């Protein structure tokens, strides 16, 4: 039998080799494939949206394109846009050809959109494309979002479940399990330039959605993938001292482990390269700025004053200094789902271990994220060693996941009614900053979780009010435009939502899913 020290060294070697192998298998991103040309295209705004170029497919090997660029770019009359359009294929979009039939009504429109937004599985993709292949069918959000997105997909899957499309729900869950097996985590989306970060971890809820239809017997099928997801978020936690953080794990002052959003890169985002470079200009530490910008993108809230310093400006972004309340509620349900998966296999002792992990996290969320003075759940500010002061709609997650006590839920409900509730639904934050995850904007996933949280704590009248106002707004905009949108202005419902780095998108996966659920389960039925 090997000596224990030798065994530890062997395990370390295997781990290092595995990491090296995994890194070697990662596809190159557009910036890595086209150095120099990439920066020229993005900074030169050849396309108004930086995401266009990173989604294009080359018509020749990158080495040939770079050689042509080096030869031609200094010649008289060289036109960069003409050069690029002759050597790359523009990304396809079904949205440009689809026309809705408003007269048919909302439900037929939603039923049609499932087909419009569905993508067939890819055993392979075009060589040098940034798209990562997936083995089974899936839905994209729509518009510029031509790939699967992690947390968007859960809310889309809710709608698919309501529509009786359970096989597609299972296919999407299988795709996320595939990504976990292939990359060790679920990337922001299935693009090479997203392989440095994840998104809010909703995979456990996707599995729970299947279990609602097929009983907990389905849980063991996804247990290995659930464990990989947990390992990704908790990596490095065991070696942390109190008050220290490493990647996504944070050892809190009392010794508990919670988590934060993180991106492994300190470079500008490739899909928003020009915006990031411009925003970082003149900053003393642009690398940290890029890290925090990317971490906010990993949160899904890109961008919000939730992540900013006291001046409320993007340049003061400090995402990695905050322990988000919503993220830790999601990891709580991951731990609880793992406990259920072991219980379904008759492994009571292991199930108990995971139940204890969940109980510790729930207590830590209560200890660090309940802001007693505000009567609200907020993120925890690590440098300040106290709950953050800004109230956001992330504060409903402890209600949706059963963390809150009944008195706390009553306080949060009162705050929602007094401050967040507007004519079209619930504001994302109370700050009108011009950022898309601030007032006056609202988003379907947060409406859904607020409604679920209120119902869980018997705040039914307020839940019904939110649902009715949101459905009414969605319906009215559809009647006027023939579109369902990614976000809405709930404060002045006659105006569109604004902010963000791109125009308002329609489609839209998570809006469709939440809307169909509310049409089926709200007190006020809509046609």
> 92-134: per-residue pLDDT in tens?
864 456 788 999 999 999 999 999 999 999 777 889 999 999 9
pLDDT level of residue 527 (50, 70, 90 thresholds): very low
pLDDT confidence of residue 274: 98
249 found inside a domain: no
Token pair for 53? 């170029």
Query: Does 71 share its domain with 113?
Result: no
pLDDT confidence of residue 93: 66
Catalytic residue among 302, 321, 335, 438: 302
Tally of domains within the chain: 3
Residue at a domain's end among 61, 89, 117: 89
User: Which residues, 6 or more positions from 504, have their beta carbon under 8 angstroms from its beta carbon?
Assistant: 485, 486, 487, 496, 497, 498
pLDDT digits (tens, 9 = 90+) for 445-466: 999 999 999 999 999 999 999 9
CA 57 to CA 69: how far, in whole Å?
17
Query: Does 77 share its domain with 196?
Result: no
If you average pLDDT over residues 41-65, what whole number do you get? 97
Query: Does 123 share its domain with 26?
Result: no
pLDDT confidence of residue 3: 40
Q: Residues of the chain with pLDDT > 90: what percent?
A: 90
55 found inside a domain: yes
Query: Does 80 share its domain with 113?
Result: no
Among 163, 170, 154, 168, which residue's Cα sits nearest to residue 111?
163
Query: Does 501 share its domain with 440?
Result: yes
pLDDT digits (tens, 9 = 90+) for 175-186: 999 999 999 999
If you average pLDDT over residues 373-380, what whole number do you get? 98
CA 515 to CA 510: how far, in whole Å?
8
CA 184 to CA 197: how far, in whole Å?
11
CA 502 to CA 49: how far, in whole Å?
7
CA 523 to CA 184: how far, in whole Å?
42
Among 430, 436, 441, which residue's Cα sits nearest to residue 389?
430
If you average pLDDT over residues 370-398, what whole number do you get? 98
Query: Does 84 share its domain with 109?
Result: no
Token pair for 141? 């959000």
Query: Does 46 share its domain with 169?
Result: no
Q: Is residue 267 flagged as an active site residue? A: no
Token pair for 1? 């039998």
Query: Does 9 share its domain with 131?
Result: no
Q: How confident is the prediction for the chain on average, in pLDDT?
A: 93
Query: Does 468 share its domain with 398?
Result: yes
Residue at a domain's end among 35, 65, 89: 89
Query: Does 440 share its domain with 397?
Result: yes
Query: Does 404 share its domain with 512?
Result: yes
Helix (H) or strand (E) holding 456: helix 444-456
If you average pLDDT over residues 332-345, what whole number do you get? 98
pLDDT confidence of residue 92: 80
In the Cβ-directed half-sphere of 169, how many Cα atoms lie within 13 Å? Answer: 24
Q: Is residue 486 flagged as an active site residue? A: yes
Among 38, 27, 23, which residue's Cα sits nearest to residue 267?
38
Query: Does 77 share its domain with 195?
Result: no
45 found inside a domain: yes
- Indicate the DSSP class of residue 145: B
| Domain coverage including residue 158 | 104-234
Residue at a domain's end among 33, 59, 89: 89
344 found inside a domain: no
């Amino acid at each position: 039998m090997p000596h224990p020290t030798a065994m530890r060294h062997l395990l370390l070697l295997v781990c290092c080799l595995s990491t090296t192998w995994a890194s070697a298998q990662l596809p190159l991103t557009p910036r890595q494939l086209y150095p120099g040309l990439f920066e020229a295209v993005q900074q030169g705004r050849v396309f108004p949206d930086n995401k266009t170029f990173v989604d294009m497919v080359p018509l020749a090997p990158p080495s040939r394109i770079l050689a042509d660029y080096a030869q031609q770019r200094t010649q008289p009359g060289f036109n960069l846009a003409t050069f690029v359009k002759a050597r790359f294929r523009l990304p396809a979009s079904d949205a440009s050809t689809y026309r809705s039939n408003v007269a048919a009504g909302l439900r037929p429109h939603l039923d049609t959109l499932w087909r419009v937004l569905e993508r067939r599985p890819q055993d392979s993709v075009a060589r040098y494309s940034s798209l990562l292949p997936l083995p089974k069918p899936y839905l994209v959000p729509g518009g510029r979002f031509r790939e699967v997105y992690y947390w968007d997909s859960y809310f889309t899957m809710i709608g698919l479940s309501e529509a009786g499309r359970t096989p597609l729900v299972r296919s999407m869950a299988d795709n996320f399990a595939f990504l976990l097996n292939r990359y060790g985590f679920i990337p922001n989306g299935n693009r090479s330039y997203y392989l440095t970060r994840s998104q809010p971890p909703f995979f456990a809820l996707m599995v729970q959605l299947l279990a609602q239809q097929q009983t907990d017997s389905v849980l063991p099928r996804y247990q290995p993938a659930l464990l990989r997801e947990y390992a990704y978020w908790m990596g490095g936690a065991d070696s942390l001292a109190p008050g220290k953080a490493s990647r996504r794990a944070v050892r809190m002052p009392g010794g508990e482990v919670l988590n934060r959003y993180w991106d492994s890169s300190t470079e500008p985002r490739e899909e928003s390269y020009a915006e990031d470079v411009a925003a970082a200009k003149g900053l003393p530490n642009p690398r940290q700025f890029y890290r925090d910008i990317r971490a906010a993108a990993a949160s899904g809230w890109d961008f919000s004053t939730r992540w900013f310093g006291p001046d409320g400006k993007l340049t003061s972004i400090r995402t990695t200094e905050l322990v988000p309340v919503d993220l830790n509620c999601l990891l709580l349900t991951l731990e609880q789902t793992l406990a259920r998966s072991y219980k379904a296999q008759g492994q009571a002792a292991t199930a108990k271990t995971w139940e204890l992990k969940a109980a510790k996290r729930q207590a830590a969320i209560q200890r660090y994220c309940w802001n007693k003075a505000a009567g609200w759940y907020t993120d925890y500010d690590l440098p300040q060693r106290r709950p953050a002061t800004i109230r956001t709609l992330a504060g409903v997650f402890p209600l949706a996941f059963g963390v809150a006590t009944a008195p706390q839920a009553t306080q949060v409900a009162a705050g929602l009614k007094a401050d967040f509730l507007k004519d079209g639904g619930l504001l994302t934050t109370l700050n009108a900053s011009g950022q898309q995850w601030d007032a006056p904007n609202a988003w379907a996933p947060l409406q859904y979780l607020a409604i679920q949280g209120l119902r869980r704590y018997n705040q039914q009248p307020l839940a019904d009010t939110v649902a009715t106002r949101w459905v009414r707004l969605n319906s009215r905009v559809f009647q006027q435009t023939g579109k369902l949108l990614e976000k809405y202005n709930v404060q002045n419902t006659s105006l569109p939502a604004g902010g963000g780095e791109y125009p308002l998108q329609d489609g839209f996966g998570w809006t469709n899913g939440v809307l169909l659920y509310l049409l089926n389960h709200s007190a006020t039925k809509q046609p």
